Structure 1
Amino acid sequence: MARTPPPFAPFEWMIAWRYLRARRAEGGVSVMTWISLIGITLAVFALIATLSVRSGFRAEFVDTILGSNAHVTVYSSARVDEQGRTQRTFEDYTERAQAVAELPGVERAAPLVKGQVMANANGRNAGVEVFGISAEDLQGIRRVVDPETGYGDLARFGEGIALGSGVARELGVDVGDQVKLISPDGVKTAFGVSPRVKAYEVVWVFTAGRYDIDRTRAYMPFDEAQLYFNREGAADELEVMVDDPETVDAMAPAIQQAAGQGALVWTWQDASGGFLRALEVEDNVMFVILSVLVLIATMNIVSGLIMLVKNKGRDIGILRTMGLTEGSVLRVFFICGAFTGVIGTLLGVILGCLFAIYIDPIFSFVNYVAGGGVWDPAVRGIYALPAKLQWGDVFAAMALSLGLSFIVTIFPARRAARMNPVEALRYE
């Protein structure tokens, strides 16, 4: 009794390989097959490149937020003092900060004094937001105190101010130079409030990685900020850092309760959640659009395979009369079509991974060819185009491309398998 060969037997691979290696004059691989191969390669490359840039942009954006801003800001609700003035400060900020810092999952809680001033140096002016913070708490802001991106002497923070690199560049100052800070809310006199002007030495210049932060922010010792902004014995808010910023919304009620009566909280997700949600929607839309691009590229396999089936009609008839089953014929042409999808996918994955790994020199080359100005940090917030290669994105792109390639290959392969050998050999 004849034994039925198993699916994808060696002879099926041999026949498929002969068809793929055959010259076009012999009815082998057509130009359409090469077009589909190149199309799949470029589509998978574009999908992986887009996913890696998407992941890198979000990671860099979130890291600059978490590395230079409070994860949770605790501020006071408005109240009216004895003089009828509206106040939003904490007088018992030490006790409140200590109570918040004792919560599980909280790294630290630091009182802050904040104010907006005009900075002046070398005849230039710049609007600056000043953060009054202790030297110890400043060490917890990693993007600001990073020695790889900042320079100066943080040990002398109590003698001067730390300035963002964008502000320093705008004013034309460096470490050791003097900067005048001008506040409209100064000394109260019989003729009204006079502006307060005071000069400070720049002891540290930092680059947080966000254009809007580096261009507008300065740090001042907490005690000095209290005197400068008329906050003697008070703080404007509490800066809270937590262990897991992604779960900050779940911790917000406990932080608000620990901060005491009249305390309100504002998390980093409240401040940037709208942008992150818009980024997520954009990511999903781009994935769908590029998936359609992959589908279009794989559809070219159908055209090439139909031409191959038509050219090999005589061979199919001969193979069927020799005893090849419909399943064997189907698998032969399925291998021919799937081979294009597999090779194109692998080439696209390689190109996409190389793009994500070497994005910096690639971007520098594009910027050089374009004459500079391709990436404007004033518009995009961060200084360079980031890319983060995640294996989940790579596997998703591979699964999508291979799945579509295999599915579209089935239809022309079934057509070849159902070809009547009598009709195929009638005119031979």
Structure 2
Amino acid sequence: MAGRTAPFSRFEFMIAWRYLRARRAEGGVSVMTWISLVGITLGVAALIITLAVRAGFRAEFVDTILGSNAHVTVYSAPEEVVPGSGIYSSLMRDYDERAARIARVPGVIRAAPIVRAQAMVNFGDRSNVAEVFGITEANLRTIPRIANPETSLGDIDQFGDGIAMGAELARELGVGLGDKVKLISPNGAKTPVGTTPRVNAYTVTYIFTSGRWDIDKTRVYMPFAEAQSFFNREGGADEIEVDVTDPENVDDWSDALTTAGGPGTMLWSWRDASGSFLRALSIEDNVMFVILSVLVLIATMNITSGLIMLVKNKGRDIGILRTMGLTEGSILRVFFLCGAFTGVIGTLAGLAIGVVFSLYINDVMSFVNWINGGGVWDPSIRGIYELPAKLQAKDIVKAVALSLGLSFVVTIFPARRAARLNPVEALRYE
């Protein structure tokens, strides 16, 4: 009785490696091996790049939202100004007290009363609509993406002497630092003959870049007291912007913020504003993973074709090895290793290409943009200015595990076929 050898012995690796290095007479096997190798490499690289880009896009999207907007906005339900008048207002008269109570809630790092309205911005013969935020200079400094000196122009210390404007809005209007723009509000002074538009001129003292095109194109910051006067909010505020320590779990603060805000308090979080988009991103991530997984599966199926051809070409060798004492298990492992080698090498090559491509994604996009003459990445559509990529260990592990798993599974059928080959039948016509 033939002695049994330990699984995956050295000679099994040696035989499998020799079979992969097909001679010219077995060129078909060699071609199929290279096709499998290239297919797996490209499939794994595409999967890693896609996962990195999707993760980077979500991270950049969330970071620009949280870096430029409140995590939670606290506002009041409309109340009748004078009982029986039929006139309702949601203006907060006790905004200082509310902000102080909210700031004392554990986990709250910022509570800033603001005046929020829309106005027409005019400079020369150019006009645009802007969303105006009335805010104090101290609170403006606490907004990370807005108060970033590396991406902004001007001195935030001079905010009290004028207004701050988004870079895209300034570009469209042709405005620079020190220029005076007109703000026009349709809800101006109330006179016996009706409400007249209010027009004031303000000096642009600060131009910011938040990282989000839609914010930079529409947002203007104005000193809080000036905004109260300009938009008829004397003695009141529209909202209180709140930031918390863990914005991903912002809903955990809902009860505490509602209690601290007092009767009539209502909340609107960043998840309420962007939750549907983030859910759509998650669904798209899952769909893209499934689609690219199918591509990897198709690439690994070429391993099966190559191994079937290899088994057919090596029928005589299998018969000789069996008569020399190799067991069915050894034969199975030899041909399993043939397919596994292809899967492992292709996966490692795809991993290297995917990681390098992801790390230099901006350089690649710049080259593609240059080839196409510009306009490949439109921030007005995607909201952010560049294509981000974020490599995550879990994504890399998923891609590598998928590729190796499929590569190992598809080799089992042809390897079993080789192991069950009758040595007498294999040598009968040799």
Aligned pairs for 1:28-47 within 5 A: 29-47=29-47
Question: Contact 1:27–1:311 (CA<8 Å) still a contact in 2?
Answer: no
Residues 257-285 of structure 1 show CA distances to partners (whole Å, capped at 9, x for unaligned) of 11011110011001100110011111111
Match of 2:278 in 1: 276
Secondary structure of the residue that 1:220 maps to in structure 2? strand
Quick one: which amino acid aligns to residue 152 of structure 2? G
Match of 1:123 in 2: 125
Secondary structure of the residue that 2:190 maps to in structure 1? strand
Rounded to whole Å, the distance in 2 between the matches of 1:84 and 1:340 is 77
Aligned pairs for 1:23-62 within 5 A: 23-26=23-26, 29-62=29-62
Residues 285-326 of structure 1 show CA distances to partners (whole Å, capped at 9, x for unaligned) of 111111111111101100000000000000000000010100
Q: Are the structure 2 counterparts of residues 176 and 27 from structure 1 closer, same or farther at C-alpha, using a change threshold of 3 Å?
A: closer
Rounded to whole Å, the distance in 1 between the matches of 2:28 and 2:279 is 50
1:192 aligned to 168, 191, 194, which one?
194
Question: Contact 2:21–2:30 (CA<8 Å) still a contact in 1?
Answer: no
Secondary structure of the residue that 2:325 maps to in structure 1? coil
Rounded to whole Å, the distance in 2 between the matches of 1:242 and 1:96 is 16
Aligned pairs for 1:14-413 within 5 A: 14-26=14-26, 29-82=29-82, 84-413=86-415
Quick one: which amino acid aligns to residue 4 of structure 2? T
| 1:29 Cα deviation from its structure 2 partner | 3.9
Rounded to whole Å, the distance in 2 between the matches of 1:281 and 1:27 is 44
Any unmatched runs of 5+ in structure 1? Answer: none
Secondary structure of the residue that 1:389 maps to in structure 2? coil
Rounded to whole Å, the distance in 1 between the matches of 2:111 and 2:26 is 77
Q: CA RMSD in A?
A: 1.2
Rounded to whole Å, the distance in 1 between the matches of 2:271 and 2:92 is 24
Rounded to whole Å, the distance in 2 between the matches of 1:41 and 1:100 is 54
Comparing 84-93 with 313-322, which one deviates more in the overlay?
A: 84-93
Secondary structure of the residue that 2:146 maps to in structure 1? helix
Quick one: which amino acid aligns to residue 100 of structure 1? I
Rounded to whole Å, the distance in 2 between the matches of 1:136 and 1:93 is 16
| 1:24 Cα deviation from its structure 2 partner | 3.6
Question: Contact 2:105–2:257 (CA<8 Å) still a contact in 1?
Answer: yes
Quick one: which amino acid aligns to residue 79 of structure 1? E
| 1:159 Cα deviation from its structure 2 partner | 0.5
Residues 47-82 of structure 1 show CA distances to partners (whole Å, capped at 9, x for unaligned) of 001100000000000001100001000011011112
Quick one: which amino acid aligns to residue 51 of structure 1? L
Question: Contact 2:134–2:228 (CA<8 Å) still a contact in 1?
Answer: yes
Rounded to whole Å, the distance in 2 between the matches of 1:274 and 1:396 is 26
Secondary structure of the residue that 1:219 maps to in structure 2? strand
Secondary structure of the residue that 2:114 maps to in structure 1? strand
Rounded to whole Å, the distance in 2 between the matches of 1:372 and 1:320 is 64
Rounded to whole Å, the distance in 2 between the matches of 1:29 and 1:104 is 67
Secondary structure of the residue that 1:240 maps to in structure 2? strand
Quick one: which amino acid aligns to residue 150 of structure 2? E
TM-score by length of 1: 0.98
Matched, 1:416 2:390: no
| 1:110 Cα deviation from its structure 2 partner | 0.6
Question: Contact 1:52–1:388 (CA<8 Å) still a contact in 2?
Answer: yes
Quick one: which amino acid aligns to residue 6 of structure 1? A
| 1:28 Cα deviation from its structure 2 partner | 8.0
Structure 1 runs of 4+ off > 6 angstroms? none
Rounded to whole Å, the distance in 2 between the matches of 1:407 and 1:4 is 25
Secondary structure of the residue that 1:412 maps to in structure 2? helix
| 1:115 Cα deviation from its structure 2 partner | 0.8
Comparing 9-18 with 96-105, which one deviates more in the overlay?
A: 9-18
Question: Contact 1:20–1:28 (CA<8 Å) still a contact in 2?
Answer: no
| 1:15 Cα deviation from its structure 2 partner | 0.9
| 1:85 Cα deviation from its structure 2 partner | 2.2
Rounded to whole Å, the distance in 2 between the matches of 1:22 and 1:31 is 9
Rounded to whole Å, the distance in 2 between the matches of 1:148 and 1:7 is 61
Quick one: which amino acid aligns to residue 311 of structure 1? N
Question: Contact 1:52–1:393 (CA<8 Å) still a contact in 2?
Answer: yes
Quick one: which amino acid aligns to residue 166 of structure 2? G
| 1:3 Cα deviation from its structure 2 partner | 5.2
Question: Contact 2:2–2:325 (CA<8 Å) still a contact in 1?
Answer: no
Question: Contact 2:162–2:203 (CA<8 Å) still a contact in 1?
Answer: yes
Secondary structure of the residue that 1:142 maps to in structure 2? coil
Secondary structure of the residue that 2:268 maps to in structure 1? strand
Quick one: which amino acid aligns to residue 380 of structure 2? A
Residues 5-32 of structure 1 show CA distances to partners (whole Å, capped at 9, x for unaligned) of 2111111111111111231415784211
Residues 127-167 of structure 1 show CA distances to partners (whole Å, capped at 9, x for unaligned) of 00000001011111100011111110100111110000011
| 1:122 Cα deviation from its structure 2 partner | 2.0
Secondary structure of the residue that 1:113 maps to in structure 2? strand
Rounded to whole Å, the distance in 1 between the matches of 2:17 and 2:229 is 83
Residues 164-219 of structure 1 show CA distances to partners (whole Å, capped at 9, x for unaligned) of 00110111011111111000011111221111100111111001111110000000
